[in-house]
Amino acid sequence: MSKQTTGAVLIAGGGIGGIQAALDLANSGYYVYMIEKNASIGGVMSQLDKTFPTNDCSMCIMSPKLVEVGRHINIRLITLAEIKEVRGELGNFEVDVFRKARYVDMDKCIACGACTEKCPKKVVDAYNQGLVKRKAVYVQYPQAVPLKYVIDAEHCIKLTKGKCGNCEKTCPAGAINYDDQDQNVTLKVGAVILAPGFSPYNPAGKLIYSYDNNPDVVTSLEYERLLSASGPNQGHLVRPSDHAEPKRIAWLQCVGSRDTNTCDNAHCSSVCCMYAIKQAIITKEHDPGVDCTIFYMDMRTHGKGFENCYNEAREKYGIRFVRCKVHSVFPMAGGEKGQVLDYMDEHTGKWTRTTFDIVVLSVGMEIGPQVRELAQKLGVGLTDSGFCRTAAFDPVSTSRPGIYVCGAFQGPKDIPQTVVEAGAAAMRAGIALAGGRHTLTRAMSPPPERNIYGERPRIGVFVCHCGINISGVIDVPAVRDYAAGLPFVEYAADNMYSCSQDTQDNITKLIHEKNLNRIVVAACTPRTHDPLFQETLLNAGLNKYLFEMVNIRNHGSWVHKEYPQAATEKAKDLVRMAVAKVAQFQALEEARLEIDQNALVIGGGLSGMAAALALADQGYPVQLLEREAHLGGQANRLYKIAGGESVQDGLDSMRIAVANHPNIRTLLNAQLTHVDGFVGNFDSTVAHDGGTETIRHGVAVIATGARESRPTEYGYGGDARIVTALELDERMRQPDPALQQVNTAVFIQCVGSREPQRPYCSRICCTHSVSAALHLKELNPAMNVFVLYRDIRTYGEREKLYKTAREKGVIFIRFGLDDKPRVQVKDGRLEVEVRDHVLQRPVFLEADLLTLAAAVVPYKDEQLARFFKVPMNADGFFAEAHVKLAPSNFATDGVFLCGLAHYPKPMDESIAQAQAAASGATRLLSQKTIRTSGTVAYSSPMDCSSCGVCTAVCPYNAPFMRTDGPFKGKADINPVLCKGCGACVASCRSGALCLKGFEESQLMAMIECA
Amino acid sequence: METFEPNILAYCCKYCAYAAADLAGSMRMNYPGNIKIIQVPCTGRVDVLHLLKALEDGADGVYVAGCLEGECHFISGNLKVKKRVLQVKKILSQIGIEPERVEMFNLSSAMGPRFAEIAVEMTERIRKLGPSVVGLYQRRQAAVN
């Protein structure tokens, strides 16, 4: 390497993809600049009510990540900003960034909202999809990060006309600055990650949906806000035009997707089927009486848990699914409310007319003109549909070296796939900049901690006015004086703004002066401000756990405005409770743990090799285990990737890279026989080549794959002309000249998938059959090719293949689960009978080649699951830590997941997930030692009755029974694995377990003086 | 006669209920000040004793507010405490105290309005029930001493 690389990365976009990439990089030794065009981060995910298929609350799962980004010492957040230009090359870029003026001083703003209250100017609220108005000075949403107000310069009366100035007059913190200026800054980074996200398709101006002039026809994103508890109606579902409770709601799928007629979006947006199902289910949960109907072309529920969700929607919730593209929507004639839908009913073959109260347009994803322009300026290639062009074997690299991509800009996708790609992009950037790791990051260096053991509690209480936010309702001096008289309180004071920097300095000074050893701050919420005050304690030489926050704003002045007296009394009560608790606090230690720098990758298929290479390229030694005698797994049997790239060429170069890599040791014919230990220090015993050896490793990646099932129907095994998809690929690969001679080729889809005994969709078979059909047509354009399917699921830009196949004359015939094709061999002729969905009558196909799209099935390796204490789902695929936001992690720390072992997926997605798993592993490895939280459970072995309930209760395997020493057989807690939930503590029959920071004595002290 | 102002304790989990209470504040919802929140990392930390002790020490009502079922940040803490709440209700009815003084609620962190609703609901409920006999006894003892 000739030149030193810059150990910083610029991430363009603060949605969930950008957030994940930023956290991966900042936690593994790189400095991150996050550029966000809006006033706060969060992107589209922050606007969602729930997320499919588990219906988790979107904000709940996201906001801890928002807060982490906002407070990260190695992430610099630049909001209201966009990239202007990128100069230089991989390792050393200079990025010009344009930052719009905020007109609010972020250091001074305390997010009290007084400005908004007094602002006279109302503006359409984009966060709520224009369904309501906001003020010209505003915060995007209550949980926004950074939680700082912003003035909308376009609409502010002061900035446009020079009048008003209300906000400046009202702001108690003097944060308003009308003279703020736009800025240009130049940042030096080694790599860039593009995570700009998508634009929802705008149906305005398309007369067929009557969206323009009809408030009861809404887009799916508008409907999402209508459902949301934080939305315009507080989650109370009403018809927008008259606020009546709706009785009938329709969803129209593929609006702005799979449509080259009314727009130019040939691609499938991948997520709309699932979000429509989600919205319909949530609607039913709001009111089971609402009739929900989804009009669709193909139901694309191809992800993990999606098909189950679809089945539940039909069977449990009674949601109706009607297959058709609705022709038009128009309002009822003559003042009556309601939307009229005209559509062709497939079963009757007749025009049908129905009315609905609300019509939801399931709008697709597209890439807006600004992002396309940016791509052009940066020299990043795009696909025909405007998404970023990438290659299957390097799925997150753009055409310009050093610029990576993740999320919907790479192609339409859902949240988990975005999170996977974010990890992959972080990994690729991390590999490229490995030489610059830890060169630009900063670390905290607090003074040594004062030992307070044995000291009498000397508590300092600080009560915050929060401008007038608290003191406008609560009598702050009275609370202060009350606090001063409480037991062990040495000092009590009130502050105008407890969070300001000068207050922090003052608290630090007072801790020294008054020799305080415990601190209580009565102010806003610990969820945002705990870390700030804990840092102050650290800087004053106090253990950061000697601190308690009392929430007298969000839980006090803001909600008891009408009862100031009661609010003051309550504030006193809460302070008394906190003082009683904090008096019992002890300094807590954060366990330190060395992370062994070796990685173990289990499975030498495509995913395993990709994960091994990603880790090895950063300098970590990798042991790669493969049960077979050769690397490559299922990919060895594949012919071409959907885009046309050769699988074997790509696979060969990976195999060579693995074989020649100095950091990778490959163990073939290897079998894991035993695993001991936990994150940072696993000891795995491997049997291979007749011997066994024990490998010490800090992290493990499970990439054990899956296989093609052996069909038990359609005459498979009885006739050489009937083959599985992989068998067809092998013949194409040879290549088998007989394929050219085929007159009629038939594909049957969903063989063993989406059946009652195996309910999931195998995700890859539709694309595979369509690609294979196209290849057969190439070999012999005269060949008759039929694809018998249930729903074609060529999601994302794969839709183009489906379209091409139809154009080339491949005939698609749909069948239902209750009327499957029949295959028989009569007089040596292979005959397939299927009922045609258009003709509504059986057709007979005489085939020379019948390909069965057999299901992808997991190995259900229960032993491996036990070894690493990781769960499997009902289908036998490994269960990730979180379906949405941790798709490549396990709940067990230090163990990661990728590839088919997680769920069926195409090769590009497998490689991305392998890189994401490696990125997760790198977060641990790069830190060399990790610190655990101080608030963990611990055991008093003297009291333990050895019942073992704790080991059964804990979802994280933290409790264990000691196997030697004087307390053999007694429970102990591994602080490294403990997440501090306290479930074991509450379940302990003998009071042997305690949770630090939430000790029995502390809770009881609070209860006693409540 | 002036209205009885009950003293109510609420165990709220850090991830959902406590966050919902924060949001209720951000949204400037209004609810009576009778509710005092004790934050716990997860409602799974809340034991039968914590519920009983609160009543014993004079609270007129006590409730647990955790994540929606199936959405517990720690997988199943809220389901564990649900059983304990039922158990406490049973104990209370056996000793002649209204089991309605104890309750379990589930809500997500985005449900600020629901948090306020629960606060109102519980306050109203306990107001109707009147002071808990234990509390009355405690106060009488305090007066005697």
The residue to which tokens 């415990």 are assigned: A518
| A526-546 per-residue burial string, b: 16 or more CB within 10 A, e: under 16 | bbbbbebbbbbbbbbbbbbbb
Q: Which of A962, A960, A944, A968 is nearest to A869 (CA)?
A: A960
Our CA-based measurement puts residue B94 at a distance from the nearest CA of chain A, in whole angstroms, of 22
Tokens of A617: 């390229």
Nearest to B33 among A143, A560, A953 (CB): A560
Residue A319 in any domain: the answer is yes
pLDDT band at A2 (very low <50, low <70, confident <90, very high): very low
B105: domain CATH number is 3.40.50
> Is A60 within 8 Å of B54 when comparing Cβ atoms?
no
Q: How many whole angstroms separate alpha carbon A448 and alpha carbon A454? A: 18
Domain with residue A310: its CATH number is: 3.50.50.60
What residues of chain A lie within 8 A of the CB of B73, using their CB?
A: 981
Inter-chain CB proximity A230 and B15 less than 8 Å: no
Query: A1010 and B9 in contact by Cβ < 8 A?
Result: yes
Whether A986 and B84 lie within 8 Å, measured CB to CB: yes
Burial class (CB in 10 A: 0-12, 13-18, 19+), A855: buried
Beta-bridge partners for A194: A12, A405
DSSP A758: B
Nearest CB among B29, B71, B109 relative to A559 is that of: B29
Residues in B closer than 8 angstroms to A231, CB to CB, are none
Q: pLDDT tens, B72-114? A: 888 889 999 999 999 999 999 999 999 999 999 999 988 899 9
Do A60 and A171 fall into the same domain?
no
Residue A381 structure tokens: 């290639």
Asked if residue A438 and residue A475 are part of one domain, the reply reads: no
Interface contact flag, B80 A63, Cβ < 8 Å: no
Contact yes or no for A981 and B45 at CB 8 A? yes
Interface probe with A: pick from B9, B42, B79, B109, most Cβ of A within 10 Å: B109
Q: What burial class does residue A581 get, using C-beta atoms within 10 Å of its C-beta: 0-12 exposed, 13-18 middle, 19+ buried? A: buried
- Tell me if B108 and A986 make a contact (CB, 8 A cut-off): no
Q: What is the mean pLDDT of residues A688-700?
A: 94
A708: distance to nearest CA of chain B, Å?
A: 32
A80 and A147 in a single domain? The answer is: no
| Helix, strand or coil, per DSSP, at residue A649 | helix
Q: Is the pLDDT of residue A322 over 50?
A: yes
For residue A465, give how far its alpha carbon lies from the nearest alpha carbon of chain B (Å).
16
Percent of chain A with pLDDT over 70: 100
Task: Give pLDDT tens digits for A56-99.
Answer: 888 878 888 998 899 899 999 999 999 999 999 999 999 999 99
Token reading at A197: 């996200």
Q: Please give the pLDDT value at position A558.
A: 92
Q: Which residues of A touch B59 (CB under 8 A)?
A: 1007, 1010
User: Rounded to a whole number, what is the distance in Å from the CA of A440 to chain B's nearest CA?
Assistant: 33
Chain B interface, best mutation among A1003, A1008, A1009, by max B CB count within 10 A: A1003
How many domains does chain B fold into? 1
Query: How would you label A90-102 residue by residue, b for 16+ Cβ within 10 Å and e otherwise?
Result: bbbbebebebbbb
B contacts of A233 (beta carbons < 8 Å)? none
Using an 8 Å CB-CB cutoff, list chain B residues near A229: 108, 110-114
State which of A930, A953, A975 marks the end of a domain.
Answer: A930
Q: In Å, how far from its chain's centre is CA A397?
A: 20
In this prediction, residues A678-689 reach a mean pLDDT of: 94
What does pLDDT average to over chain A? 94
Retrieve residue A421's tokens.
């790609």
Closest C-alpha to A295, from A364, A339, A259, A345: A345
Contacts of B10 in chain A (CB under 8 A): none
Pick the residue from chain A with its C-alpha nearest to B83: A987
Task: Compute the distance between CA of residue A776 and CA of residue A786 in angstroms, rounded to an integer.
Answer: 11
Best mutation site among A140, A551, A555 for testing chain B: the one with the most B CBs within 10 Å? A555
Say yes or no for a CB contact (<8 Å) between B32 and A560. yes
Do A360 and A378 lie in one domain? The reply is no
Assigned domain for A451 exists: no
- b/e B29-39 (16+ beta carbons within 10 angstroms → b): bebbbbbbbbb
Q: Is the peptide bond between A446 and the residue preceding it cis, with omega within 30 degrees of 0?
A: no
- Asked whether residue A306 is domain-assigned, the answer is yes
Distance CA A785, CA A17 (A): 40
In this structure, the answer to whether residues A41 and A94 fall within a common structural domain is: yes
Higher pLDDT, A917 or A230: A917
Could you tell me the pLDDT band of residue A444, with boundaries at 50, 70 and 90? confident
Contact B25 A981 (CB under 8 A): no
State phi, psi for A256 to the nearest 5 degrees: 85, 15
Are A559 and B7 in contact (CB < 8 Å)?
no
Q: Do B38 and A551 touch (CB under 8 A)?
A: no
Nearest CB among B42, B71, B111 relative to A983 is that of: B42
Number of domains in chain A: 7
CB contact under 8 A, B84 and A1003: no
State the average pLDDT over residues A814-825: 96
Distance of CA A268 to the CA centre of its chain: 21
With respect to residue B66, please indicate whether it lies within any of the assigned structural domains: yes
Residue in B32, B44, B57 nearest the CB of A982? B44
Identify the DSSP state of A451.
P
Residue A3 has pLDDT above 80, yes or no: no
Check residue A55 and give its pLDDT: 83
Q: Do B59 and A1010 touch (CB under 8 A)?
A: yes
Looking at the structure, do residues A107 and A90 belong to the same domain, yes or no? no
Of A228, A527, A1006, the CB nearest to B110: A228
Highest mean pLDDT among A225-239, A315-329, A410-424: A410-424
Residue ranges making up the domain that contains B88:
8-144
Q: In this model, does residue A258 exceed pLDDT 90?
A: yes
Taking each helix axis from N to C terminus, what angle separates B77-94 and B48-56, rounded to the nearest 10 degrees? 40
Measured in angstroms, the CA of A468 and the nearest CA of chain B are apart by: 14
Burial class (CB in 10 A: 0-12, 13-18, 19+), A677: middle
Q: For A315-326, what is the mean pLDDT?
A: 94
Whether residues A776 and A921 fall in one domain: no
Banded model confidence at residue B2, pLDDT cuts 50, 70, 90: low
Domain boundary among A930, A961, A979: A930
- Which strand (E) or helix (H) includes residue A965? none
SS3 for A871-921 is CECCCCCECCCECCCECCECCCCCEEECHHHCCCCCHHHHHHHHHHHHHHH
Given a cut of 80, is residue A995 above it in pLDDT? yes
Name residue A722's amino acid.
Answer: I
Which helix (DSSP H) or strand (DSSP E) does residue A943 occupy?
Answer: none
pLDDT at B3: 79
By mean pLDDT, which of A54-58, A728-732, A997-1001, B37-41 is the weakest? A54-58
- Smallest Cβ–Cβ distance between B71 and the set A56, A554, A569 belongs to A56
Residues A222 and A356 occupy one common structural domain = yes
Residues of chain A positioned with their CB less than 8 A from the CB of B81: 986
From A821, A837, A857, the end of a domain falls on: A857
- Does residue B3 lie in a domain region? no
Q: Exposure string (b/e) for A295-312, b if CB count within 10 Å is 16 or more?
A: bbbbbbbbbbbbbbbbee
pLDDT at residue A928, rounded to an integer: 92
For residue A709, the distance in angstroms to the closest alpha carbon of chain B comes to 32
Flag if B113 and A229 touch (Cβ within 8 Å): yes
Kindly state whether residues A464 and A396 are assigned to the same domain: no
Which CATH number belongs to the domain containing residue A505 in this structure?
3.40.50
Residues A803 and A920 in one domain: no
Q: Which tens digit of pLDDT belongs to each residue from A831-856?
A: 999 999 888 899 999 999 999 999 99
Average pLDDT over residues A781-795: 98
- A235/B32 touch (CB, cutoff 8 Å), yes or no: no
Question: Is-contact A83 A96, C-beta < 8 A?
Answer: yes
Point out the residue among B19, B38, B116 whose CB comes nearest to the CB of A559: B116
Residues in A touching B68 (Cβ below 8 Å): 57
A613 or A466, greater pLDDT: A613
Please give the interface size between A and B, counted as residue pairs whose CB atoms are below 8 Å apart.
165
Dump strand ranges (E) for A617-730.
622-625, 664-667, 671-678, 681-688, 691-697, 699-702, 706-708, 722-724
Range of the domain at A190: 1-99+182-198+367-444
pLDDT of residue A1: 43
- Whole-angstrom Cα distance, residue A543 to residue A541? 7
With a pLDDT cut of 90, the percent of chain A lying above it is: 86
Same domain, A548 and A616: no
